[in-house]
Structure 1
Amino acid sequence: MGPIAEAVSAAGGSLVRVFGRAEIPLTLLDTPDRLILLRDQLRLIDAAIREIGAPSLPARLSMGIGIAGLGPVGVQVRAAETLGEALARVEVATPLLLQTATLTSVRLQGANAFYGYAVTERIESGRQANEILALGYLLGTVRHFLGPAWRPSHAVVTGAYLPGRSEIEALLGAEIAFGSRAGLVFPACHLDAPNPNRHDPLGPDTAADEPIGDDLAACVAQLIELGLDEARPSIDGIARRLGISRRTLQRRLDDAGTRYADIQHRVMARRAKALLTAEVLSIGRIAVELGYSDASHFTRAFLEWTGMTPSHWRRVVRSRGSTVVS
């Protein structure tokens, strides 16, 4: 939601009007890490496009963010040895992270490969805009292996008409055709392309060893760590412990270059890794310990933090005979 809000504000649009049209409370901007339904996301993108009159907005957003915007899916991409392996990993991770609302897959079509994206819910409003947003991320995935100048044979979106088509084609660097499913078409031989900068998700996590920020941010991290012994602490509870308002805490953390959600995720990821490595508790019990209602919600969160499911993490750590990984 953050990049969408920034684009609307930069263009002089009204966030109140955009969120109102999408029937989403504006207060969600205070908790950008909260999951919302896909249909709500699509309505928000559609409302933003209408507000600022920019049908190319989805392409600009995804191309501007690149592979960094893929979050845990990006971890899967960077950890794969080849492009084909990366796309297979993304196919498994996508429905887990997006709650089965979307899926990706690769199909061979003669000498070509079709890297497709589909929304599995019966949603029409904003569907094509979501596909354009997805195409930017699909391009970012392939370009991680083939370089930033790589261009597909062509891209595909659903429907029969695409507003702002020429500008979107220029942003994506690809001609767009219409079909039954969105995606990219490129030579199948590219699937064997090696990863030029492979990342080991179980390797040293330098970010976790770096200072979180100023003393306030470090204090927040410590309070979250202590709070995990009782229940998952909320930003309101931490603000009360510090004797300041929620808004003040958010503003001061923002001044320090971080967010409450980032600190909380880092602390919870460290605790989860320690519990998984110890192999004393089941994954379901660890989920409860961290304040999740069930193992599936914990699995999605852990996948977002590390790019791996808890069971996969535990198996790999066991096979390496590792101690706790930071």
Structure 2
Amino acid sequence: MRLNTAIGDDLSSADRPTNILCGLMQFAAERGTDCNAWFAGTRLQPEEISNPDTRISYRQASTVIRRALAALAVEDLGLVLGGRQNLGNFGLLGLAMKTAPDFGEAVRVGLAYQRNSGALMDITLAEQGDGCVAAVASAPEEARDLQPFLCEELFSSVLQLVRELVGPGFCPQRLELGYKAPHHAQRYRDVFGCEVRFDQPRHALVIDRRWLELPFTSYNPVTSNQVMTLCRMQMDARPACGETTAALESHLRTRLRENPQMAEMAAALHLSERTLRRQLAEEGTSFSAIHDRVRTKRAMELLRDPSLSIVAIGGRLGFNDAREFRRAFKRWTGRAPSQARRSGD
């Protein structure tokens, strides 16, 4: 079974949440390790990694992870980070799986919306001939050197999620990994509680197929449908964009009140204005289109706060004159701010 994959076709497309990088930064903070250098030259701002609106490319994520692994020097770091995960860390996806009618449907939901979790490996479900099924993970060839870390983080976090869904007694049949046994191989056996095979032709967590038939007594079709709708909205809300577009959006979100111009944003991204314009054109957009999109989204958020006047909202978006804000908002949305507020969008 292969549905919406975690890995897009373009490794420079900013289409994934920042979950793994956020976990690495939290771990670094606990150890007193400065992680700012990890982001040098990536066009990512460390302070934006915890923002749920931030999207990064596979290339950016890989660069940061390589630097983090070198700086932290913890050989079983993937197992450590994955072992910290719980249902809540998977957000809406975890809730959607929890409200499924049975474990088999929960797995199908997880596969369909795996991109929402920020995964850096693509998971497919493969039938076995021995009464088992395998969750097979793959990553781009460009990330071959990261596969031990990515497999550790992915499979150990999946294990935590599954045990929360079906109970602590869940145990895989075996774990297959396509790389040589590391020095801490025993840690794998301790964590997964099953046979672990290294130097295999694939990365796979193999389970007894009967687990898929396990019903969830907490199933409620109304709640399930509500959460599934939110999952679909989450996936559709942020279409993939290029790295430059994503970086510009990130910088603009923090400076809307200043009404920054293109030259200022180019300098913030360490680009010339001409280069920024060219790169945005290559990604099919422009500075004004991105600026308007970011302002529109923020305006809609602020309009939900009844304590803020239209004048105050316009000021937060960089408009000195409320009339200018009203005209701009109508150009963006086809409605006046007051109409949007009344409709509750």
Query: Structure 1 length normalisation: TM-score?
Result: 0.57
Give distance in 2, aligned partners of 1:80 and 1:163.
39
Aligned to 1:146: 166
Shift of 1:196: 4.2
Aligned to 1:78: 98
Shift of 1:101: 6.5
Listed as ranges, the gaps of 5+ residues in structure 1 are 205-232, 241-262, 271-287, 291-323
Aligned to 1:47: 67
Structure 1 position 237 matched with structure 2 position 250: no
- 1:123-134 aligned at under 5 Å gives the runs 123-134=143-154
SS in 2 for 1:141: helix
* Contact 2:172–2:194 (8 Å) recurs in 1: yes
Shift of 1:158: 1.9
What CA RMSD, in Å, does the superposition of the two structures yield over aligned residues?
Answer: 4.0
- 1:1-326 aligned at under 5 Å gives the runs 1-20=21-40, 24-25=42-43, 27-32=45-50, 33=52, 34-95=54-115, 102-120=122-140, 122-178=142-198, 179-198=200-219, 200-203=223-226, 234-237=253-256, 267=301
Aligned to 2:325: none
- Relative to structure 1, is the Cα distance of residues 42 and 194 closer, same or farther in structure 2, using a 3 angstrom cutoff? farther
- Relative to structure 1, is the Cα distance of residues 103 and 154 closer, same or farther in structure 2, using a 3 angstrom cutoff? closer
* Contact 1:42–1:127 (8 Å) recurs in 2: no
* Contact 2:84–2:157 (8 Å) recurs in 1: no
- Relative to structure 1, is the Cα distance of residues 170 and 118 closer, same or farther in structure 2, using a 3 angstrom cutoff? same
Give distance in 1, aligned partners of 2:113 and 2:140.
15
SS in 1 for 2:256: helix
Give distance in 2, aligned partners of 1:202 and 1:159.
40
| Letter aligned with residue 212 of structure 2 | L
Mean CA deviation greater in 32-41 or 193-202 = 193-202
* Contact 1:83–1:192 (8 Å) recurs in 2: yes
| Letter aligned with residue 147 of structure 2 | R
Give distance in 2, aligned partners of 1:192 and 1:149.
16
Give distance in 1, aligned partners of 2:162 and 2:151.
16
Give distance in 2, aligned partners of 1:18 and 1:169.
31
Shift of 1:133: 1.0
* Bigger radius of gyration: 2
- Relative to structure 1, is the Cα distance of residues 117 and 72 closer, same or farther in structure 2, using a 3 angstrom cutoff? farther
Shift of 1:167: 2.6
Give distance in 2, aligned partners of 1:81 and 1:104.
21
C-alpha distance after superposition, 1:122-142 (max 9, x if no partner): 422312211111102321332
Give distance in 1, aligned partners of 2:92 and 2:47.
21
- Relative to structure 1, is the Cα distance of residues 15 and 31 closer, same or farther in structure 2, using a 3 angstrom cutoff? closer
C-alpha distance after superposition, 1:132-173 (max 9, x if no partner): 111023213322332124221222222123342223433344
Aligned to 2:17: none
- Relative to structure 1, is the Cα distance of residues 236 and 142 closer, same or farther in structure 2, using a 3 angstrom cutoff? same
SS in 2 for 1:50: helix
C-alpha distance after superposition, 1:210-259 (max 9, x if no partner): xxxxxxxxxxxxxxxxxxxxxxx93432688xxxxxxxxxxxxxxxxxxx
* Contact 1:116–1:182 (8 Å) recurs in 2: yes
| Letter aligned with residue 189 of structure 1 | R
- Relative to structure 1, is the Cα distance of residues 9 and 99 closer, same or farther in structure 2, using a 3 angstrom cutoff? closer
| Letter aligned with residue 135 of structure 1 | F
- Relative to structure 1, is the Cα distance of residues 50 and 171 closer, same or farther in structure 2, using a 3 angstrom cutoff? farther
- Relative to structure 1, is the Cα distance of residues 25 and 112 closer, same or farther in structure 2, using a 3 angstrom cutoff? same
| Letter aligned with residue 85 of structure 1 | E
Residue identity (%): 14
| Letter aligned with residue 140 of structure 1 | Q
Query: Structure 2 length normalisation: TM-score?
Result: 0.54
* Contact 2:22–2:49 (8 Å) recurs in 1: no
Give the number of aligned pairs: 226
Give distance in 2, aligned partners of 1:75 and 1:185.
24
- Relative to structure 1, is the Cα distance of residues 11 and 164 closer, same or farther in structure 2, using a 3 angstrom cutoff? farther
